[in-house]
């Protein structure tokens, strides 16, 4: 009996010591010599019925948008400019992190705030790669620091969604040619001017001209038509890869298909 008790006590000591070892490995202090390899920021919006996953590193911004059932809806990639990568908040260093095995275990940056995301950071320190997430319950992080980190990730997300001039023109031109006025009898679509505001999210103003065989707007195939070559000007506002306004000749709303 004494021998059995000794074995049980020995096994309990092993289990307790292994538990302590695991606990000690959970928290890692990121030092100044650590290198941030990448950051993954995930937000879920029930309003938009989508999940946005942003992964950034020293060379690229990679934004994937999924449905709530994890079906890929869109994917955007942009290069990361060096000075942008050097801007992550100082609070990502010299703070305790909680080691995790998957993003599903990540803590919210702002607990109990609707739409707040989860941040997963991969760092290289002393030859060891750690996958980490901010422990939002830790007293080491003040609320203003959490806001600063989230603001940075939201800023990078806007950059990732920002199209180049060429991408904006391609998207807008495909949209114009697919809409009723141009697709009915339009031709010779020509870009006259492209203006972009500097602030984020930026708004692009694209001004195009084109020619219709007949007068009028929209699909007017049910009307009695006579050939009358008509020149049009369409002004399109475009932001975050979406058409927000499109007016032809200052008199026709091409989005709503009605007079202004």
Alpha-carbon span 66 to 104, nearest angstrom: 15
Write down the pLDDT at residue 18: 36
Low-confidence ranges of the chain (pLDDT < 50): 2, 4-25, 102-105, 111-112
Q: What is the CATH number of domain 29-161?
A: 3.30.1560
Q: Does residue 171 sit in helix, strand or coil? A: helix
Task: Tell me the domain boundaries of the chain.
Answer: 29-161, 165-259
- The bridge status of strand 203-212 relative to strand 186-196 is antiparallel
Distance of CA 148 to the CA centre of its chain: 17
Write down the pLDDT at residue 16: 37
Q: Are 206 and 233 in contact (CB under 8 A)?
A: no
pLDDT tens digits, one per residue of 111-121: 445 556 788 88
């Amino acid at each position: 009996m004494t021998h059995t008790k000794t074995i049980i006590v020995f096994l309990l000591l092993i289990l307790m010591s292994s538990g302590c070892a695991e606990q000690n490995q959970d928290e890692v202090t990121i030092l100044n010599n650590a290198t941030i390899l990448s950051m993954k920021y995930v937000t879920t919006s029930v309003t938009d019925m989508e999940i946005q996953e942003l992964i950034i590193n020293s060379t690229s911004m990679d934004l994937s948008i999924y449905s709530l059932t994890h079906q890929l809806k869109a994917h955007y990639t942009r290069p990361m400019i060096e000075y942008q990568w050097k801007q992550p908040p100082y609070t990502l260093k010299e703070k305790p992190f909680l080691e995790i095995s998957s993003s599903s275990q990540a803590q919210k940056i702002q607990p109990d705030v609707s739409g707040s995301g989860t941040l997963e950071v991969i760092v290289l320190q002393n030859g060891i790669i750690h996958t980490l997430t901010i422990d939002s319950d830790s007293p080491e992080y003040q609320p203003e620091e959490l806001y600063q980190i989230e603001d940075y990730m939201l800023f990078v997300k806007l950059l990732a969604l920002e199209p180049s001039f060429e991408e904006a023109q391609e998207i807008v031109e495909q949209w114009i040619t697919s809409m009723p006025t141009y697709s009915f009898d339009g031709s010779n679509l020509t870009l006259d001017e492209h203006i972009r505001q500097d602030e984020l999210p930026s708004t692009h103003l694209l001004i195009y001209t084109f020619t219709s065989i007949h007068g009028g707007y929209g699909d007017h195939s049910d009307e009695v038509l006579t050939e009358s070559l008509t020149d049009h000007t369409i002004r399109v506002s475009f932001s975050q890869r979406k058409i927000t306004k499109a007016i032809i000749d200052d008199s026709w709303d091409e989005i709503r298909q009605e007079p202004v």
